[in-house]
Structure 1
Amino acid sequence: MDKLKKIKTLLADIGMPAAQQTDLCALTILALANLREIGGFSSATNNWLRIHDIITFINNNYAVNYAENSRETIRKQAIHHFRTAALLEDNGKPTNSPNYKYRLTEEFLKVIKETRKSTDDNSDNEALKSFKRNHETLINTYTSKKAINKMPVRINEKDYTFSPGSHNQLQKAVLEEFAPRFAPGSECLYVGDTTHKDMVKNEAKLKSLGFNLNIHDKLPDIILYREDKDWIYFIEAMDSVGPMSPERVIDIKKMTSGIKSGKIFVTAFLSFAKFKRFSEKLAWENEVWIADMPEHMIHLNGDNFMGPR
């Protein structure tokens, strides 16, 4: 195996995410180890290098041509993650200093030195085994951080988790604060997550109510159904785009023309300031709910305080 492929295999074995197993990332390691195409891994060193030095080494030794404006790409895609995974360290200078440099950690340098160019795997690399015993893989580290940041949410008496973000924070508020107050006893028939579009989707119930399930991309953020009144709540969680505008209401009415249940259109906002910002875009004869003041509703010129139109 050539050195580039061997380093990519090593990065995979050490538990780096797929995004840190690219040619650019492997070439960065080779530059930091001062390893050219010819020669063995045992000659690796860990001298201090600037990112400019890394780019120069790669261009001079590996038949590629990274421009100077690639520095930020290398920093974000390789350096930052390698430092988190204890593959390299910096010299502690201010980040804007021209003398800000990086080098391989002594521990990871030993891993590279014990790498064998002639083998297809790294099963005989004792330094690698020791490194993996002493360090959490970056894949596990990132997965744990994502799990910690997820937001628990109770939907239809079951526990789920939303990905972090203001849009999902608002959806959580709708389900846990709006629904018990203004749609008591309702069932959530549909809600998506930013990373899991159909987190809850009761296809059987939606179909029985008359929904066309082929128009998935046009569904609002949340659909609630209150069986005792036969009301369907179409709710948009308004974070940056997508309020219940006149055009949006018309679209939903058209695609649900076969549904006989009462239809209620709601736009939810996290704050009153966000509501004011988008208030002119909202359709009349609809409802507004603001998470900051969950006990109240704003009814846009309707003759009923709450009910299907």
Structure 2
Amino acid sequence: MDKEHQEKKLRESKEILAALGLPPKQQNTRTALVLLSMLNLSPTKPWSDAEAHTLGITECMEWMKNHYPDISKGRKDPTRYAPNTRESVRKGSVNQLVSAGVLFKNSDAPNRATNDKNNRYHPSPIALKAIASFGTSAWEKHLEDFHTEWGRLRDKWAAERAAHLVPVVLPDGTVRSLSPGDHSDLIRDIVESFAPQFTPGGIVVYLGDTGTKWIVEKPEYLAELGVLVDRHGKMPDVVIHFTEKNWLVLVEAVTSTGPMNGIRVDELKKLFEGARSGLVFVTAFQTKKKFRQFAADIAWETEVWVAEEGTHMVHFNGERFLGPYDQNQ
């Protein structure tokens, strides 16, 4: 495969990213290759052959490896991305292209959760029309049309998205909104049903969201409890300070992955190692059917709460019910 053609197409792709309004940080090799993959444009294809190519993140990475194998040589952001760099492609490139109106996400099912393995992306029609004219006399006109039309769509979709957000009423009566999806529905159940039942009077000191993550964040409060929050650490979905018992209740909302298995418990113990409050580990499921799917993975000395049976818990322990296992607590 001709490296010269690969590099030429890459330079043009970066030029297009700049013209479409992507910030300088996203006018990079990785994002340029993601764009090419979603257009199904191999190095020798003209821009007029751009097409709507629907891909998931893994498929996108495989396409880049197969069609632009030489670009990685001598570069810091290679096309041969390992599986553990999948999130970098999604967060650093694909999400930015979605935000810019260049890609559409899940046209068949807009409410799929962020971490759903079935998420798929493809070029928006207005972006595709503009990009296909790159290098012709019609490019400037179609580029202007893209910016005008995307501005109108962005305003419309912002209103529609707000209408589908999941409202969560915190124990203090304030309301926060989460991204739409089953995961957010379960987080709402944890805050509005689990917390009053099992941690009455508790304070939600952290609440995560698949869209923007830090919905509730009280680092000063946690610091008083001996916890210095590492923003790069993988926080549980909900952290509640049960003040009556001085427990920190760490809750994972599981709809597809991530129960409190032994590895996850060890991670959280390290993340909260300075806590002066007892640590309680809880896995929350929406249904008993989902709980059965993960039952074999649940760690001992943790708890399970199922939203559809909200007044009961399952205790994976031997000597006590809900509570920390530090002998001093």
What TM-score does the superposition give when structure 2 sets the normalisation length?
0.56
Q: Report the CA distance between 1:303 and its aligned residue.
A: 2.5
Aligned-residue identity in percent:
33
Aligned-partner residue type, residue 158 of structure 2: T
CA contact (8 A) 2:52 2:123 kept: no
Structure 1 position 274, deviation (Å)? 1.0
By how many angstroms is 1:219 displaced? 2.1
Contact kept? 2:53, 2:123, Cα under 8 Å: no
Separation of aligned partners in 2, 1:237 and 1:213: 20
User: CA deviation digits over 1:227-276, x for unaligned, max 9?
Assistant: 12111101111122211111222232233333231221100011111111
SS of aligned partner of 2:308: coil
Secondary structure of 1:71 counterpart: coil
Using the alignment, how far apart are the partners of 2:244 and 2:20 within structure 1? 58
CA–CA distance in structure 2, aligned partners of residues 235 and 69 of structure 1 = 49
295-304 or 65-74, larger mean C-alpha shift: 65-74
Matched, 1:177 2:177: no
Asked whether the equivalents of residues 230 and 271 of structure 2 are also in contact (C-alpha less than 8 Å), the reply is: no
The alpha carbon displacement at 1:218 in A equals 2.9
Deviation at 1:300, TM superposition (A): 1.4
Q: Do the aligned partners of residues 216 and 176 (structure 1) sit closer, same or farther apart at CA in structure 2, a change above 3 Å counting?
A: farther
- Post-superposition Cα deviations, 1:50-96, rounded to whole Å, max 9, x if no partner, equal xxxxx9xxxxxxxx83489853339x95998558x9x9xxxxxxxxx
Q: Tell me whether 1:227 sits opposite 2:243 in the alignment.
A: yes
1:149 to 130, 151, 164: 164
Matching residue's letter, 1:287 = E
Q: Which has the larger radius of gyration?
A: 1
What does residue 105 of structure 1 align with?
none
Change (3 A) 1:287 1:77: closer
Report the CA distance between 1:215 and its aligned residue: 5.8
The one-letter amino acid paired with 1:71 is E
Residue 80 to residue 197, structure 1, CA distance change in 2 (3 Å): closer
What is the CA distance between 1:216 and its match in structure 2? 4.4
Question: Deviation at 1:162?
Answer: 0.4
Query: Per the alignment, do residues 201 and 292 of structure 1 end up closer, same or farther by CA in structure 2, a change over 3 Å counting?
Result: same
Quick one: distance in 1 between partners of 2:231 and 2:165?
A: 28
Equivalence map 1:17-36=2 (5 Å):
none
- Identify the residue that residue 65 of structure 1 maps to in structure 2: 45
5 Å-filtered alignment, 1:130-145, equals: 137-145=152-160
Unpaired runs of 5+ residues, structure 1, are 1-7, 13-21, 26-54, 56-63, 88-111, 116-120, 123-127
The question of whether the paired residues in 2 share the 8 Å contact of 1:286 and 1:302 is answered with no
1:209 aligns with 2:189: no
* Cα distance change on mapping 1:234 and 1:80 into 2, 3 Å: closer
In 2, the alpha carbon distance for the partners of 1:82 and 1:71 equals: 10
* Aligned-residue offset at 1:136: 9.0
CA distance in 1, matches of 2:292, 2:204: 28
Match of 1:261 in 2: 277
List alignment gaps of at least 5 residues for structure 2.
Answer: 1-16, 22-31, 36-40, 55-101, 105-121, 130-137
Conserved in 2, the CA contact under 8 Å of 1:245 and 1:281? yes
Sort the Cα spacing of 1:296 and 1:223 in 2 relative to 1 into closer, same or farther, 3 A: same
Cα distance change on mapping 1:136 and 1:248 into 2, 3 Å: closer
Classify the secondary structure of the residue corresponding to 1:275: helix
CA distance in 2, matches of 1:69, 1:271: 47
Coordinate RMSD, CA, aligned: 4.5
* Pairwise CA distance, 1:220: 1.4
Q: Which amino acid aligns with 1:143?
A: A
* TM-score of the superposed pair, with normalisation by structure 1: 0.60
User: Following TM superposition, by how much is the alpha carbon of 1:148 offset from its aligned partner in structure 2, in angstroms?
Assistant: 1.3
CA 1:260–1:144 in 2, change beyond 3 Å: closer, same or farther?
same
Residue 209 to residue 11, structure 1, CA distance change in 2 (3 Å): closer
Matched letter for residue 236 of structure 2: P
